[in-house]
């Protein structure tokens, strides 16, 4: 994967129309009110830079899963009004994506003005990366800017297809993602520690394999740890386990050993009889969990072992919580890692999704070097896969 891509500062915007893909897929309540506008705020630096450089800015995004049909529930109208407030200038919303209203508004748009097309996923051609749909979108502009890292792992018309017809560069968000994560993977400050959690080994197969080529220490917690514990002959009670991944788990442990990578697994576990917030919690040894119990968080001894590794690290990449952090009594493992990272001098990179949610919920977000804006995209990035939304940008 080539991380050396042109950004908005490498291109001349004056008087040009710019089609800009953002990630405005924001959560809303039943009434359609935006409950968290952080994705909209994250796009502001890129939008403001282009406007101040006299670009006419045409924004586009998806929202939810309208399955290729117009559906007012997934309209970007609330985004347009919130964006107008944040920018302090009107953001006109087209009533369509590539229809008569979009034609009219894009044609009339002047330098220093900004508009938003309706939800690109109202057309099934978007997710199919249909060339005619991409060509029509591209026809509105002179330049394409991708600033939606959260969808960069998808080859859709608005995330990659339009780059076949326009010069393409990355916005500030994409630029920060690829420079921060790219340098961590290519030239990390050592020791390089990766922490993986979450429920399933199967979600992280490629990531584990790729990281074992690069890290000094790999820490595995969360539900996925029990598959590894079982693979080494431990008994794990009712804990999560992917039986079809036991051979793979053994293979990865052997690979770590052959490469001299420390592979840390939990040694004690907070377990309970049921998956519930008020379940009675007990601490047990991870490799001999009683038959009636399931592991729901890492225990105190494991917390110390994992956080000690973090304290001496130069770079830490973290993807996936250590336990069921949504339940207060099973959040301590995730909190301990977050606190250790907040207090360490390491470059700390949080890989989106649940880990980002946990960091924010526990109040440590401002202490991290970088929190990725994409869950699936950051996983594929850590896996070393080429992301279509980045591959399509011009090389520096």
pLDDT at residue number 236: 97
Q: What is the pLDDT of residue 322?
A: 95
pLDDT > 80? residue 2? no
Contact 175, 286 (CB under 8 A): no
Dist CA 56 CA 151 (whole Å): 23
Q: Report the range of poorest mean pLDDT among 219-228, 326-335, 354-363.
A: 354-363
Which domains occur in the chain, in start order? 8-174 (3.40.50.1260), 188-382 (3.40.50.1260)
For residue 55, what pLDDT band results from cuts at 50, 70 and 90?
very high
DSSP one-letter string for 36-92: --HHHHHHHHHHHHHHHTT-EEEEE---S--TTS--GGG-SHHHHHHHHHHHTS-EE
Label residue 360 by pLDDT band (50, 70, 90).
confident
pLDDT of residue 4: 86
Active site positions, annotated:
39, 200, 353, 376
Three-state SS sequence of 314-335:
CEEEEECCCCCCCCHHHCHHHH
Would you tell me how many other CB atoms lie within 10 Å of the CB of residue 86? 16
What percent of the chain lies above the pLDDT cut of 70?
99
pLDDT at 1 over 70: no
Instruction: Please give the helix or strand (H or E) that residue 350 lies within, else none.
Output: strand 347-350
- pLDDT mean over 374-396: 87
Q: Compute CA distances 201 → 38, 88, 196, 271, whole Å.
A: 30, 46, 9, 20
Mean pLDDT of 47-54: 98
pLDDT tens by residue, 161-187: 999 999 999 999 999 988 888 888 888
- pLDDT tens digits for range 134-144: 999 999 999 99
How distant is the alpha carbon of residue 60 from its chain centre? 19
pLDDT band, residue 104 (cuts 50/70/90):
very high
Q: Residue 352 — very low, low, confident or very high, per pLDDT cuts 50/70/90?
A: low
Give 190-211 pLDDT, tens digit per residue.
999 999 998 888 888 889 999 9
pTM score of the predicted model = 0.86
Residue 179 confidence (pLDDT) = 86
Give the Cα separation of 162 and 141 in Å (integer): 10
Looking at residue 377, its pLDDT comes to 84
Of 121-125, 180-184, 257-261, the least confident: 180-184
């Amino acid at each position: 994967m080539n991380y050396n891509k042109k950004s908005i500062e490498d291109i001349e915007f004056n008087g040009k129309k710019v089609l800009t893909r953002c990630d405005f897929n924001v959560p809303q309540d039943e009434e359609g009110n935006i409950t968290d506008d952080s994705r909209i705020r994250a796009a502001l630096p890129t939008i403001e830079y282009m406007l101040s450089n006299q670009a006419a800015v045409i924004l586009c995004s998806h929202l939810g899963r309208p399955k290729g049909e117009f559906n007012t529930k997934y309209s970007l109208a609330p985004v347009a009004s919130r964006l107008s407030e944040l920018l302090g200038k009107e953001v006109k919303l087209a009533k369509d994506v590539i229809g008569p209203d979009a034609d009219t508004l894009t044609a009339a748009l002047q330098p220093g003005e900004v508009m938003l097309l309706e939800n690109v996923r109202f057309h099934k051609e978007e997710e199919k990366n249909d060339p005619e749909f991409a060509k029509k979108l591209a026809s509105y502009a002179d330049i394409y800017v991708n600033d939606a890292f959260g969808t960069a792992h998808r080859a859709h018309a608005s995330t990659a297809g339009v780059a076949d017809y326009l010069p393409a560069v990355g916005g500030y968000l994409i630029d920060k993602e690829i420079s921060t994560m790219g340098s961590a993977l290519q030239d990390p400050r050592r020791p390089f520690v990766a922490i993986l959690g979450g429920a399933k080994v199967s979600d992280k197969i490629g990531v584990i394999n790729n990281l074992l080529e690069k890290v000094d220490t790999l820490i595995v917690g969360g539900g996925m740890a029990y598959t590894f514990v079982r693979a080494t002959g431990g008994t794990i009670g009712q804990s999560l386990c992917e039986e079809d991944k036991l051979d793979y788990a053994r293979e990865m442990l052997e690979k770590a050993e052959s490469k001299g990578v420390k592979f840390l697994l939990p040694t004690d576990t907070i377990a309970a009889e049921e998956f519930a917030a008020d379940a009675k919690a007990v601490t047990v040894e991870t490799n001999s969990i009683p038959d009636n119990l399931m592991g729901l968080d890492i225990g105190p001894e494991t917390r110390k072992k994992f956080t000690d590794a973090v304290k001496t690290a130069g770079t830490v990449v973290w993807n996936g919580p250590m336990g069921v952090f949504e339940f207060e009594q099973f959040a301590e493992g995730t909190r301990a890692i977050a606190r250790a990272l907040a207090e360490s001098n390491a470059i700390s990179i949080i890989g989106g999704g649940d880990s980002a949610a946990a960091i924010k919920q526990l109040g440590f977000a401002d202490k991290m070097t970088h929190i990725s804006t994409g869950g699936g995209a950051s996983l594929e990035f850590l896996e070393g896969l080429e992301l279509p939304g980045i591959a399509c940008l011009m090389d520096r």
